[in-house]
Each structure stands twice: as C-alpha cells, then as structure tokens.
Chains A and B, each alone.
Chain A
Amino acid sequence: MSTLCEIRDLTVTYRGQRIPALNRIDLDIVAGERLAIIGESGSGKSTLARAVAGLLPLGAKLAGEMRWSSGQPPLPGRDLGFVFQDPSSSLNPVLDIGEQVAEGARRHLGLSWKTAYVRALKMLERVRIAEPQKAMRAFPHQLSGGQRQRVAIAAALAAKPGILIADEATSALDMVVQAEIVSLLDELVREAGMTLIFITHDIALASGFADRVAIFKDGNLVESGLTGNVLASPSEAYTRTLIASHRDLATPPLIREAAP
C-alpha cells in the first residue's frame, strides 16, 4: 500500500475568520483506497476536500503540508474528479449532457470532439443512464436528481482521473437511489483502481464499503483507522456518540408498541 498524499499539520482558515475550519490535521491518503471522511455539519469535511483538490476559495489561509507522492498536487478535472451533493453545482444548466461529459475527456485526454462524444456515450452507459443516446442531447433540468448525479459522476470520471472525491454525493437523494449510487461508485472506483474519498455525515453508509474512516468534529480529526477497527472499538467518546446516535432497522423504536 503506497501513500498517495501525506497530510501533515494542515490548518485552513477562511478569509475573515478567526477560528480555523480545519485544525492541525494529520492524515494519510492511501493509493487505491476508499477513505470515508465522516462528521456532522460544519465539522470541516468539505474544507478538507477543497484543500486536497486545491479548490479553496481566494483568501483562505492554508498552513501545514500536503505531500503528494507524485511530487505535485493533482490537477482538478484531469487527475482528480469531484462530485458534489447538488449536481447542479457541477453541471452547467445550458449545456447538453453529451457536451459536458465530453468536454473533460476532450480537454484532458486530448481527444477530438468526435472521439470525446464517443467516450461520453460510453461513460453514460457505464453509469447506467436510461436511454444514453437520448440523454446525450438532454439538459440537466430534464433529468431526475438520481439521473443528474449519475451524469455528474460520468463527467467527473470522463478524463480517467486517479482520484475521485464524492462530497455528500448521495445526501440529497432518496434512500433507494442513494444505495444505487453508492454501489455504482464502489464498482467504478474498484474497476479503475481509483482512490475514492467519500465524504458523508452517515457513518453507517460509510461502514458498508469504506476501507478506512476518518472522523471529524469541529475542524478536528477525532480519530482515523481501518473501518472495522474504528467501528468495532472506537477509541474516542465522540465516535461512540456518533455510533450510538445512528438509527437503522435494528434500533429499538421510541414509541411504546402495542402488545402483540
């Protein structure tokens, strides 16, 4: 297992803020792993994603180091794909689906438009868009939320990046679609041997497929480790609280049930 990026003592402070959004983070990203970044809202998950992708807004102060094994940070779009919670923030509403998926492949793989369109169609098939030929000519607003998220994934992967960051990519979707998208992501990154950084507030969702988890709270890294180890024997009280607050179909109900 080789380390793709060593994050050391990373602190990020947004412009005009006194309190850093991320506070002295030490974390390794391992090549080819599925790393889940878990935390409640405001814990700094998206800030970490933006720092890794080199997409922090202007004026944000970054201290500490990110040491990439390749010697230089990944180029967004080419080396690193990004899928957001709201696909409208990564999709352009006035471009048809074919063009937006083809664009990344054309630019970063040096393809002609014609071959880029062929690649785009293949990507839409890969993410299992219904009627991919027709979808190529559709606009984002004509698709459902789940279909739009599939398009965003196709666009993020069109240039064959080595790293995919999914930031709450399934949080706006209903549960059935969420499960489909998670298994699609899992399959795609596995096949391509990509590194997946999966950001979520849902510890159970991550527990199902991440190799390692990193738990964040208020800008601090609470603990990180192999998923099974952290979930089976968390070393921090906060992790235990997160686990205890989780509800699934095995959690006792809150209502008093009528005697059967």
Chain B
Amino acid sequence: MTLLAIENLSKRFSSGGRAVAAVGDVSLTLEPGETLGLVGASGSGKSTLARILMRLLPADAGSIRFEGEDWLSLSGTDLRRHRARMQMVFQDVLGAFNPRATVASVLDDPLRIHDIVPKAGRAQEIAALLDRVGLPASYAGRSIREVSGGQRQRIAIARAIATKPSLIVLDEAVSALDVSIRGRILELLVELQEERGISYLFVSHDLAVLRAVSHRIAVMEAGRLVETGPMRQVIENPQSPAAKALVNAVPRLVTQPTEGPFHDV
C-alpha cells in the first residue's frame, strides 16, 4: 500500500505586498522503504513542502494521505499518536536542538512523549539508539554543544528513529557536513532503511547526494513539480529545463591535466 500520497498541495505566502506561490498544485507518492529525492533551486519550495508535510505549516489547499489517514485533518490526540510515525532531520544547525540539552535528554524526549519505552527501560534504549547510529553510549551525558557537526547529525537521526517512524523527512540533512563525514551519514541512512523499511523524503539542492540514496527523484521549480521519475532516468535523461540545469551544474571531478598557460610551468 502506498505510504504517502500528496495531492494538489498548494501554499502561498505574501511578503511585502507580493504573493509567492511557494508550493503550487504539487502531487506525489511514496512507497514503503522507498526514497524520493526532492531537488530544486533555492526558493523552489522544497522546505515549504516538507514543513506542510510535518504539520509545521498549514496548507492552503490539497490533501495528504499518510498510512491510510487523512493526515491534514488529524488533530489533538489522533495527530499526536500518528506523529511518531513521521519524523524529520534538518540541516545541521544547533538551532534544531535546545542548546542546554544533553544527548540523553534529546533522545529521552521522543521516547517519553510518544510512550515508546517505559521510564525504567529508557537509559538502555538510549544506549541502543546511540550504538545504532555509531556513537558510544558514554555520549549520553554530553551537552549537545560539545559534539561535532557530524556527531550531532547522528544524534538527530537517532532521535528520528527513536519513535519507529515509517517516514523520515530529511531537509538538506547532509548539506553542511564535510564530504568525508557526509558519505558516512548517507551510508548510515541507507543501512537503516534496509534494516527497518523506512521511507525517506530526501530534500537536497545537490543531485550528487540524491543520486546516492534515491530510488526516484522529483524536481521542483518555482513551487511546481516539473519532473518525476526513476533516479537514473531523471539524471541520465532529464526532460525539463530545470532538471537539465541541475544535472549540468553538478561539479565534475576533473583529473586530467589543466588546460591553459600553467600547463608547462
């Protein structure tokens, strides 16, 4: 059964007397265990779509079915109960965490709020979560400010999987990381998906990142979905001007001697 179906979703903002169609009539689906890469230029509406999906922002129009529920009309206890099933990981900004938090408290919150594990078992569950994302259990006592950017992103992933979600929305989750760390985080995400059947909506402006992890790719431009298809089809044979521009913009590693006057220095 389709895990997520977004239909005709729209959202306008008005800023400075000017109306912006941040998301315009977007429809897409996501299957269990699948990763949909969402790519587009800055300002194309990717984060707005992600925030509507997370119920952080109301939509103007459209509907979302998630695990068979009419997701946008859920409220109160129903919403709280189902929220555990959809989690989010942001770009590494310290702002995604309470600066006074410890690693343990970051992971304890979802376990407690969503009643995942009774109090007596939580320390053990936190240790298991840390272990799963490749961090020593001794990190539990550290302040969230004391850990590196890559480690913080592992903690954000541990927080996201704590509630046993079926879908994780990742918004530029690896964009701020150094390349060597980025690769290891991507590997971790793929492992977790294979192990737990989690679906990802993976938002990035970087097609090279999406190529590593996506089964399908959707391309946004100025609020609209302009192309969707299997990963290889979109990257190897892009149809829309937006997709073509994105493919052409990915820097290629050139390992031939440089042309030009410095050739023979």
Of B43, B187, B255, which contacts A231 at CB under 8 A? B255
A202 partner residues in chain B, CB cutoff 8 A: 179, 251
Which residue of A is nearest B248, CB measured?
A179
Report the Cα distance A20→B260, complex, angstroms: 36
B100 CB within 8 Å of chain A: no
**Distance A203 CA – B194 CA, assembled complex (angstroms):** 31
Q: Which of A107-115, A152-160, A237-245 contacts B (4 or more CB under 8 A)?
A: A237-245
**A249 lies within 8 A of B247 (CB):** yes
Going nearest first, the 4 A-B pairs with the smallest beta carbon separation are A228-B257, A211-B262, A204-B251, A175-B249
Complex-state Cα separation, A210 to B207, whole angstroms: 23
Assess the B249–A245 pair: CB atoms within 8 A: no
Contact A245 B180 (CB under 8 A): yes
Q: Does B85 contact A (CB under 8 A)?
A: no
Q: CB distance B252 to A248 under 8 Å?
A: yes
- Kindly state whether residue B246 has any CB partner on chain A within 8 Å: yes
Q: Which residues of A contact B213 (CB under 8 A)?
A: 253-255
Q: Mark A164-207, 1 if CB is under 8 A from B, else 0.
A: 00000000011111110000000000000000000001111101
Contact with A along B207-245 (1 / 0, CB 8 A): 111011111000000000000000110010000000001
Q: With A211-B260, A232-B255 given, is the CB distance from A201 to B179 under 8 Å? A: yes
- How far apart are A194's CB and chain B's nearest CB, in angstroms? 14
Q: Which residues of B contact A40 (CB under 8 A)?
A: 178-180
Nearest chain B residue, comparing its CB with the CB of A210: B258
Kindly list chain B residues whose C-beta atoms are within 8 Å of the C-beta of A229.
257
Which residue on chain B has the smallest CB distance to residue A201?
Answer: B178
> A228: which of B35, B205, B258 is its contact (CB, 8 Å)?
B258
| Nearest opposing residue in chain B for A213, CB measure | B258
Contact of B258 among A227, A249, A251 (CB under 8 A): A227
Contacts of B215 in A (CB 8 A): 255, 257-258
Q: Does B73 contact A (CB under 8 A)?
A: no
Considering the chains assembled together, what is the distance between the CA atoms of A161 and B182 in angstroms?
37
Subset of 23 A-B contacts with CB under 8 Å: A1-B265, A30-B262, A41-B178, A144-B42, A144-B43, A173-B42, A174-B42, A175-B206, A176-B41, A176-B245, A179-B249, A204-B254, A207-B253, A208-B251, A208-B252, A227-B258, A232-B257, A241-B180, A245-B179, A246-B179, A246-B253, A247-B212, A249-B207
Distance in Å: Cβ of A137 to nearest Cβ of chain B? 16
**Residues of A at under 8 Å CB distance from B?**
1, 30, 32-33, 40-41, 144-146, 173-179, 201-205, 207-208, 210-212, 226-229, 231-232, 241-243, 245-251, 253-258
Return chain B residues, CB-CB under 8 Å to A144.
42-43
Taking a contact as CB atoms under 8 Å apart, the answer to whether A212 and B262 are in contact is yes
Contacts of B256 in A (CB 8 A): 228, 232
Residues from chain B with a CB closer than 8 A to the CB of A201 are: 178-179
- Shortest Cβ distance from residue A222 to the other chain B in the assembled complex, whole angstroms: 14
Q: Closest A-chain residue to B215, C-beta based?
A: A255
What chain A residues lie within 8 Å of B235 (beta carbons)? 249
CB–CB A174/B205 < 8 A: yes
B200, chain A: closest CB distance, angstroms: 10
Taking A40-B178, A231-B255, A249-B252 as given, write out 17 further A-B residue pairs in contact, using a Cβ cutoff of 8 Å, ordered by the A residue number: A30-B265, A144-B43, A175-B249, A176-B246, A177-B42, A179-B251, A210-B258, A211-B260, A226-B265, A228-B255, A229-B257, A232-B257, A243-B253, A245-B179, A245-B183, A249-B235, A255-B35
Number of interface residues, chain B, beta carbon within 8 A: 47
For the complex, what is the distance from the CA of A10 to the CA of B255, rounded to whole Å?
A: 29
- Report if B3 contacts A (CB, 8 A): no
Which chain B residues border A227 with CB–CB below 8 Å? 254, 257-258
Best-surrounded residue of B179, B231, B249, B265 (most CB of chain A within 10 A):
B179
In the complex, whether B190 has a CB less than 8 A from a CB of chain A is yes
Cα distance, A32 to B262, chains bound together (Å): 10
- A247-B209 contact given A207-B254, A212-B262, CB 8 Å threshold: yes
Q: Is B186 an interface residue (CB 8 A)?
A: yes
Chain A residue numbers with a CB within 8 Å of B43 are 144
* Cβ contact within 8 Å between A178 and B255: no
- Which residues in window 172-193 of B have CB below 8 A to A? 178-180, 182-183, 186-187, 190, 193
Q: Contacts A145-B42, A227-B258, A243-B253 hold; do A249 and B180 have CB atoms under 8 A apart?
A: no
How distant is the Cα of A32 from the Cα of B180 in the complex, in angstroms? Answer: 32
> Is the CB–CB distance between B252 and A254 below 8 Å?
no
